[in-house]
Amino acid sequence: MKTDKGQKVLALILVVGGVLGIAEMVLALASSQAPPLWSYLVYPTPFLLSVIAGIGLWRDSPWGLKLSIGVLVAQVFFLWSPAFVCVFYTGAAVPVVLMLDSQGSSGFSIAAWLGSDLNLFIGEVRRQYALGLNLAAIFALGYLFRLRPGRRDAIDPAERVALWKHPETKADVKPRIKPFF
């Protein structure tokens, strides 16, 4: 399998975002007053997985592609509620968020964030509900699904031409819609 430039860029974003996330988590934990020992293992783990996934994707390994898909799936949704908050992204995020507060008013926002973040809170944190989708993660997933080995290697380029032969006359048939494989 040949690695293309988009795959390399996405791998670089995963690695740099993961390294930034690990650095931010270590600094945040070091500056907090007596954090529990488990937090040093739990909070940097998603960022470490991002670094490993990016390295695997850069090297064009099948496990790197699968792990990258897993890391990006974890970044698709942002959830806020009065009892729970979950926000995770590495490298970049373009969240589209729909909010509803306790008085019944609603709002909509779209933003662009560079960096890395992991917010996990359980307990009363906010008085509003929100659901967000990370467009950057969704587009990156779409790109990675296009790179899956079953998709990319399923049809030999020489066979693609044969798909567009008329079944009876064997004459070339121009497709109305260009195939996207």
Question: For the chain, which residues make up each domain, given as ranges?
Answer: 5-163
State the Cα–Cα distance between residues 79 and 94, nearest whole angstrom: 14
The 3-class SS string of 77-123 reads EEEECCCEEEEEEEEEECEEEEEEECCCCEEEEECCEEEEEEEEEEC
pTM > 0.85:
no
Q: What is the pLDDT of residues 72-93, one digit of tens each?
A: 999 999 988 888 888 899 988 9
120-142 pLDDT per residue, tens: 777 766 678 889 999 999 999 99
